Structure 1
């Protein structure tokens, strides 16, 4: 099933996989992603070997819809990526009988090349000074018209070519754990705070699986985290949970409830739009 835009690498890969498998992909019809359109497309698949790639926000939408969940359980695998999948969302999917496969990669690696923490195909992984590096035959040649950035991000090491992802992570017994963007850090009162870690804690709280955290200027602390959600939760309890696990500097100054989070065409949260709201 094609549930992602084809001008993004994850959607393009659905077409490539379909071509390799010798089948025609079934596309969602009628506009933006909804549970009802997913159900309609699933019923048009007509084959037992069902595969679909989703982003976490799409997965959450389907898990909350009874008819969509019934169809989702019939898929051989549900590949989820594009951003970190909250542990609570993954657990909810597993409890519901959904066969989830977590994907990690980027456009520079021709899409997901690490599944459930393990490299697939000819992909290779290493972690250097806390940064995830990816290697293998699927790497891009570089950035068009930008030799400086190409030289910075694509490097030779140990006789092999690697892509420096700028993601933080660890590698233990061949299993990769990604902790978030190394450059996605604010400094509040002189203390470095990783926005991805705040999101992780918030998304583990009831009703906050969609939480997104951005940095906002603060006259006293320099920067401070601001969280957004379209869900409903005990705001004070959620903020207190962040402080208890990550320290006072990580506590969101605000937890803002919106009718809907702004999204990019890929289905990912529009962090730039949210940052503008946080500054407003």
Structure 2
């Protein structure tokens, strides 16, 4: 038991990650049960296969989703970090539970664009939430990883290929109109996922080049307690020494950083970039 506990601690899985992934799985499952299925819309990835089996043969969604993703996780186990793998298993487990909950209210409308857009927004938020807390829902993510590993296809392109491959058969089951709406749903869902990840918990890299770098660093550290690194460089044309400040901060912090920098040196060069990930055993010491 101690060895299992120690191994779990080494993965450094936080309670906030477990809760965040579970909440994302709940939103996704409820969207699937209360919006997608009643509106006779399709899906991409493993849930798309699940929807196909449900529409064609009445196979319970919770069961087929569990079995399909279990196979995919076994196949793609070595392609993910162990932490991501276990959080993915955690997400699939909760999706199985939530998908099995009976539907208490069936939503029907003749304006199918409404549930299409609403489902796309909620799915995007739920997937963004799961990704934000280092999990996935397997499915097209694992297929994308496999295609990237064996054929060099980018993760996004590989996932899209798999999604389109799954969506095409829906034409014969739910009709052309609902299949088109499914494609719209997938697009809206991808947009909301990207926006969620870009704005919630995102990080930005801030690079500052200024002869007053020391004064800027002191003010930023004093007012915001912001960690930063000083780089030494040389201008190519001037052949003069240049000093640069490098910082990683959230969007809200950046809105405070820029005015401070400009107040110290209005001519300072400020470069701000979005970053996908920032990791380190001791980020405060490094920066």
Same fold (TM over 0.5): no
Which is richer in strand? 1
Give TM-score scaled by structure 2 length: 0.23
Which is richer in helix? 2
Give TM-score scaled by structure 1 length: 0.24
Q: Which has the higher contact order (CA 8 A, sep 6+)?
A: 2
